Chain A
Amino acid sequence: MFYLNNDIRETLAIARKEIQIDLRFAISYVFQSIVSPLGRLIPILTVYAATVGQNAVSPIPGLTKETYIPFLAIGIIFNTAWRASTSAFQEKFKREKWARTVELLFIAPVRTTAIITGVGISVIVQNTPTFIAFLIALSIIYPTTLTGLLLAFLAFILMTLIGLSVGLIYGGASLATENVSPFISYIISAFTFLTPFFYPIEVIDKLPHPLNVFLDPLIRYNPLNAALSFARTAWLGKEAVSPFEIVYVFIVTVVLMLTAGYVFRLIWRKFGIQGS
């Protein structure tokens, strides 16, 4: 109990410090977190509005005139969470490494779990304005039930935790050697592409052979796709949600969190910090 209290205090101290640093330029911080996702959303929304939105029979499989806006809104919320969570540790560790303040964290008798959770909380807080803004817009355009909202939120949290786990390995690598970081960033980019944030999974069938055969299982069994699909189904409420999807995402999240913690400690023990 004593250790738990200390861990919570350390975690909250790290989260608070990260948020204070982020809020050094508060207006820029809040605007960036909303404007940047809008910048990614608007071009796709324009294309979909001109195609799906203008036709009674949608030219893009899996989307209809009624569903394409909530589909994209959920996509942008999850995409923003994914991008922010995968890059959070790398950005924060790199910033602290070159400012030479990272040593302050590592000289303190603090457990790695407190550092990870503290930074994680600050990322969730960082994403909250985006989440709330898009959620309000989505609720006006396509209202859902309380159950739909809660299930979508559960999927959002799980995706953020997956992102943070991947981001922790990325962050650990950038602390140890920045030469490895680009390779991890390419893997993250590949996963982003293989996740249907902005396209329905049905379009894969329309791709030329053998590209469709190659991509289909990679996208279908991608845990990020399962989280996204679960959230969309729950929000739209047109079909029953699949418990298999959320159990699958949950197991992947737990395994990834444990693996990332282990890999981070391994990198840290073996290579330490290079560049500070």
Chain B
Amino acid sequence: MNQGSSIEIGHLSVDYPLPFNLFRKKQKDNIEQVHPHGRYRALHNISMRICPGEHVGIVGMNGAGKTTLFRTLAGVLNPADGYALIDGREASSPDRQPVGYMAAFPLVYRQITGYENLRFVANLYHVKNSEDRIRKMVEMVGLTDAIDKYVEQYSTGMAARLDFARVLLPDPPLLVLDEPFGSFDLHFAEEAKKIIRNTAATVILATHNLEDIETITERLILLHRGELIRDVTFTDLSEVAPTHNGKKTLSIVEFVQGLLRRAMVTERNFCEPVHRKHVLSK
């Protein structure tokens, strides 16, 4: 098993272009106020250091910048400012250590078989004893009977399992996992969590499940609107859990909002959750 990678992120900002719109002349001023660079800034001035083998959970509401951070670490996006280094090398450099990036959707080719997908990844990452390793991964994810089928014939869960095998195949020292357990059945989700929990690799996990944070990670980072708001190390999640009406909260929404309040966000520009009763059944 590989020793984990170290990560150093300094003053990292990542931009996306604004949608092209011929008819937005009237709105232009407003848009430029929100996006002073003429682009949408998805991550703003993020700095953090993650030690080898550390397991870190990233939480935040939708649009907080978790996926953008992950895609930058995976080398898919380039920083607009600052840097993201993996073991001292730029995340986008082909000379850096391999990154096991599991996106929120399976990164597998649907037109070829599951085996051909894994064979391709094994060759790209120069996996030693690749046939044995592929067989081991296939058995681990329970796809032995389906590995010679086209991926287009897989169910969503099977494609996600193949993706999980694809991520672990090169035994990467860094796992960047963007909400990875959503498509797994309960049994395999538990298996996958056990594997992630016990890996010596550095793990960065985005999730909306507090239990996953508690069981897999020992450090929690909160992103909000592209900024790093909280960065806490814990042994028991309840130590850092905010109180709500005098009780420790276990709801991820209240948890995140509680952390945001404790971080003394001066401008509370988000909505409180709306409690609806039986709306769907009416």
Task: Give residues in A with beta carbon < 8 Å to B.
Answer: 6, 9-10, 12-14, 16-17, 20-21, 24, 99-101, 103-104, 106-112, 179, 269-270, 272-274
- Mark the stretch among B90-98, B203-211, B220-228, B266-274 that contacts chain A: B90-98
Instruction: Collect the chain A residues with CB atoms within 8 Å of residue B109's CB.
Output: 17, 21, 99, 101, 104
In-complex Cβ contact of A109 among B95, B105, B110 (8 A): B95
Q: Cβ of A179 and Cβ of B112 under 8 Å apart?
A: no
Q: Cβ of A100 and Cβ of B107 under 8 Å apart?
A: yes
Least Cβ–Cβ distance between B130 and chain A, in angstroms: 11
Least Cβ–Cβ distance between A250 and chain B, in angstroms: 29
Secondary structure call for the A interface: helix
CA distance A104 to B103 in the complex (A): 10
Instruction: Collect the chain A residues with CB atoms within 8 Å of residue B76's CB.
Output: 103, 106-107, 272-273
Least Cβ–Cβ distance between A17 and chain B, in angstroms: 5
CA distance A268 to B78 in the complex (A): 9
* Nearest residue, chain A, Cβ from B99: A107
How many interface residues does B have (CB within 8 Å)?
32
Task: Give residues in B with beta carbon < 8 Å to A.
Answer: 17, 20, 71, 74-78, 92, 94-99, 101, 103, 105, 107-112, 116, 120-121, 123-126, 150
Q: Cβ of B120 and Cβ of A17 under 8 Å apart?
A: yes
Q: Can you list 21 A-B pairs, Cβ within 8 angstroms, ordered by A?
A: A10-B124, A13-B124, A24-B112, A24-B150, A99-B109, A103-B71, A103-B76, A103-B101, A104-B107, A104-B108, A104-B109, A106-B76, A107-B74, A108-B98, A110-B94, A179-B20, A269-B92, A270-B78, A272-B77, A273-B76, A274-B17
* Nearest residue, chain A, Cβ from B74: A107
CA distance A6 to B17 in the complex (A): 35
Least Cβ–Cβ distance between A243 and chain B, in angstroms: 39
CA distance A81 to B111 in the complex (A): 25
Q: Cβ of B120 and Cβ of A13 under 8 Å apart?
A: yes
Least Cβ–Cβ distance between B264 and chain A, in angstroms: 34
Instruction: Collect the chain B residues with CB atoms within 8 Å of residue A108's CB.
Output: 98, 121, 124-125
Q: Cβ of A17 and Cβ of B107 under 8 Å apart?
A: no
Q: Which 9 A-B pairs have the closest CB atoms?
A: A13-B123, A24-B111, A107-B74, A108-B124, A104-B107, A17-B120, A21-B111, A20-B112, A107-B101
